[in-house]
Every structure is written in C-alpha cells, then in structure tokens.
Structure 1
Amino acid sequence: MKKPATLDDVAAIAGVSAKTVSRVVNRDGNVSAATRERIEAAISETGYQINQAARSLAASRSFLIGAFMPHLSSFYFAEIFRGAAKACRQYGYHLVVEEFDHGVDTMVDRYEQGLRSARCDALILTPPVCDDEHLLDALDRDGMPYVRIAPGKRPGVSPALSADDGQGVRQLVEHLWVSGRRRFAVVAGPADHAAAMIRERSFAEALAELGGDPSEISLTRIELHESISESGRVATLDLLRRAVMRPDAIFAFNDEVAIGAMAAARELGLSVPDDIAVAGFDDSYIAQLAWPPLTTIHQPIADLAFQAVSVVASGDRFDASQILLPTRLVVRGTT
C-alpha cells in the first residue's frame, strides 16, 4: 500500500519548510498568497490528509464547533446548517450538531449530556436557544465560548450576528400601504423568539409612520406543531373566523407560516391576492414555488451562520462585537 503523504512531502514539492506547510494547514494568516497557493497545490498533488488529533494537540484546540438544531425541519435551520458547514470546511473545522425537541428537552440537559463532552472550541446559538438564560449561565460557568445569532437578551455578553429585520418589514408595510391595503393582520411567531418580536413591533411602528392605527392590527400567535406551515394554517383560520372585519393583508412570521396562511385563506374561499394579500419572511425556496409566488423579506441566513463560524475561527475577533446584516423586500404574486 502507498505510504500516506506527510508534511515533509508537501514541503519538498512546494519548496518551503514543513513549518510553513503547517501554518497553511492551520489557517495561519502569516503566509503570502503565492506561497499558500503553491502549498495548496502540493497538498492536492500528494493527497495529504490532516492528522486531526495531532493538529488539535499542537494548536490546543479541538477544531470542533457545536450547534443546537431543533428536530422540526425548517428552511431557516437548513440554511443555518448550510452556512455553518460551508464555513467549517473553509476554516478546517468540523460541525457537531445536537438535536433538541421544543417543549420536551431543556437546553442545559442537551448541553451537559452532549456538546459539553465533545469539548468544542465554541458553540453557535440560534433562536430561541440563544436567549435561554439557564443555558447561558451554564456556558459561562464552564467557560465555554459562544456566538449568538439574533439574540434578544443579554446584549454584549458574546459576539452576536443579526439580520436587520426592521429594515425589511418597513419596506413591506410601505409596499402594502401603497398598494391600497388598510386592514392588517399579523400571524406572529413565538413570544420567546426575539426576531419574531422585532418583526411584530416593526410592523406596528411602520404602519403608524404611514398614518395607520397599530391598535387595529389583528394579531394571532402560532403554536408549534410538527409542521410550521400547519401551525400557520391553524392560527390563520382562527384569526379569520374571529375577525369582525376581514383583513385585506396578512404578514406572517416566516415563509412557512405564510404558506399555512395561504392555505387557510383558500379553505375559507378567499383569493390571494385579490381578497387578501399574504407576505412572509426569509425568502425561502418554498416562497418561489408557492402559487402565487410568495412576497417575502429576504434575510441572509446562511451568511449569518458562515460569519458566526468565522468569528470562532479567527480567534482574535472573539469579543462582544455585534454584526448587523441587511434585509430586503422581494415582491411576488401574493401581494
């Protein structure tokens, strides 16, 4: 059998020292672009494989990044996984996923029984886990670094990345107002979800700025079922059946809830968008495949996760920096 390539083999082909090859393997920035390209070409030529155990020992890091993911399938968490996995490949890390069940598992238990023993270099915390006070206390107690995505509590305790939810919501409200809609409903997300509350509040504030009355917004909140779309359908049916005056526009917490809202409207014999306009949030694939195609607010979910991993990988940027990424309205057939 062919003997596995070593650092020395790569160094000999690239014309550099083994130490320089090690710097490239460990993503050290103190190597010129030309030298890095030469070494990467030599790695490809030799088929050199990193000895992860030796690399971890030398760097005093595990090169593992942990993340909690709910058992419910959703576009949001699929994008979080995609962005984090892509960044891990780029920076030479591995992603360790701990699954949890809303309403059943406590996050401290999931951490103590799973990710703590994995000895991750850091954890990526997404909503609503990022605001779990008991989990944050446990991580702080253990000295476990973490990066949060879209947190609503404890500002400044860790690096955090968020989408500018309010920016996109304001664009949506103006679009609905200009198109002649005046009776609004919001199918809101969970009350413990910080971004959901920002979207809800931003909708009311934007409406007030345009001369509307936020107190007249019909509001209902989803209760999570096995299907998020089903949660949206049930909540919207209840809202429309209770309404004294039927709304002519619905803003849903996310695209999957919006799909459920469209299904509820059809169930009651209403046409979208003629009788009622519907808009979501995320700009998921389902928004483009729905009929009519769903108006929504695009947020860079995968990029949030990619940058969260980048914060961990960079090391020197691991402070309490807050990064805000833009959102934008995508107008389609439902409005």
Structure 2
Amino acid sequence: MDATADTSASPAADPTGTLDEALQRLHASGPERLGRLTNHAPMAVEALAAHGRAGAVHRWLELYAPKLEEYPSAVETITDANWREALGDPRRAADWIAYFAREVGERPWRDVLAAWWPLLLPGMYGGSTHPVIRVGHAVRTLLTTPETEPRVTELAHGLGYWAARHHPATGIALLPGGASSAADALDSVQPIADRADGGFPARLGRVAGLPAWAATVTDPDEAHRGLAELVRAATHRYATHGHGEETMLVHASTAPNAVLRALPALPRALWAPSLHAAWTASAAVTAMYAPNTPVAYTAPGTFAPEEVFERALAHGDEHVIKFADTALDVGDERALASALRAIEISEPLV
C-alpha cells in the first residue's frame, strides 16, 4: 500500500499540529513490542514532519498500528536516590519515562539532556541503538520547531527508553591502525565470528576489537567534523554493503547521526566523548552485520532529495524512512543512492 497518496504537503515545518497529534497518540503505546523490538513510529513520524510530509503521518500510522503495543506497567517510582539500581532494566521502562517526564516538567529540557547525556552515553548500545536514535529525533524537533508539550514529552520517552535499555559495550579493544578517514576505518573493521548466530546483544558481546579511529580527538569542533564524516562514510557504505543485513546495517548511519543531531543542545565538553561512543556503535554494527563481499551498485537514475524521500515514504518501511532521512542530511549523490538501495532490498510496509 502506498502511504503517500497526498502530494500537497508543503516542505515547510509542520504548522498544523499533526506531529503533536501523532506523538500524543503514540505516547499511549510502549517503546517496544514483543519484548525486544523497538516501536519506531515516533521516529518515523518525526522524520515525515521534518521533511514536509505531515499530511502522510496519520495514514502511515494506520499501516504501522498493528505493531504497537500497550504502554507497560509501572513497577516502582525512580528517584534521584535509587536510579542506579534501575538503570538498564527494561522492565522499568514506564518508571524511567515517568522519571524523565517529571524532570522535563520541572526544568529546561536542555538541562536535563546535558545532565543525563554523559550518564547514558556509555550505554547507547542497548536496544540496538534505537533509544539514542529516538532521542536524536526528539532533539532535532525541539531545536527546529516550537517547544510544545508533546515534543518535550517525546524527549522524556526517548531518554526513559534509553535508561531502561542502557547497555554498555565492554571488553572491546581499540586496535592500532593507519586509517585516517572514517571510510577507511570502516573498511578495516574485522567481522565477528559466527555472524549468522544470535541477535544484537549476543553479537555485540562477540565484538572483541575495533580500529582506534578518532580515539585521540578532544577538540569539540574536530569531534563535530568527525561525526559528520562518520555519518557520511557509513551512509555511503550502505549502497555496497547493505545487503549484509538490510535493516541492521542502517544503524551504522542512523545511530551516529542521532548523536550528531544532539550536539548543538549539549555542552561542547561532551562532543568528543559523543564522537567516540558513536564510532564504537557504527563500527560494532559493521562488524556484526557487514557482508563478506561488497557489491557494485548504480542508482536507477538521478533523483532530487525530495524525490528520494517520496520513494522511501511510498515504500513505507520504518527503517527505510529513517535511513532516507539520514541520507538527506548527508545530501550528496552517493548518500541518495544508498537510500535508493535500501528501498530496493528492504521489505515494504504493507
């Protein structure tokens, strides 16, 4: 089914409140389904609104609605005194979301984000990196549109999901190497053993070493440039390597892009640590899912960014939409070709 029958939407920011309506609707659903799969709808509808496709939001949600589950039950109130024992416990998702809803209700959202970012950043690998991606979408909206209650609440949901799924990547050695660019460093990532076995957490546990790219970066501006370079390199790489796992390899781009989107709202002292964590995420996903052999790919023509996004929306898959959103951030022809490749090899939402 085509989710894009309406072609009248303006490319301007959503002035109609459609995003707020969608977020309010989605905040009655849990952040996951089937006990382990992420609810991607808040991220996807934010991307649609950001690219002037608010008119397609509710139609797309109707297609996605069967994947939504009820909001989880609360267990125990999280406080400033007991939060450590709840960190990384997915059973406490509702408790964490309630905690952050109180936090953003009592002080500016930027202050909450800055206080919790260094605490959550080491665990950005939980939930297959989806929690930080959800936070990145929420921050983009808050930085570029009015700070409405549903949009601030969406940040609370993202941070709460991140805290509940907080999962550090431990035991990964930084391997010396000569890669000077992010693209070369991704090319030098060694695949893990037994790539056909296990889900994201099990595979992450088998990542023993990653190239030490950008490990010495401390300057905030250099960190910002490095993150942009990493997002561009990982996005380009998908065109020739995405067939290794068409869905999971999207996260090699979208996770660091979420971090990049959050940087303007964070103290500059947090930018370099953010680059290092994002590199670990992108490189680890590459090690976990990349194919043995790349394939040549030529896009079926040259398309404007808005045409590529229209094709992604017509396809409907949530990962395809979010990857196209990142590809448009990168903005060059190779990135757009990668988005077209994702459309080609992914199952559509029907």
Fold similarity call, TM over 0.5: no
Structure that is richer in strand per residue? 1
- Rg larger in structure: 1
Bigger helix fraction? 2
TM-score, normalised to structure 2, is 0.24
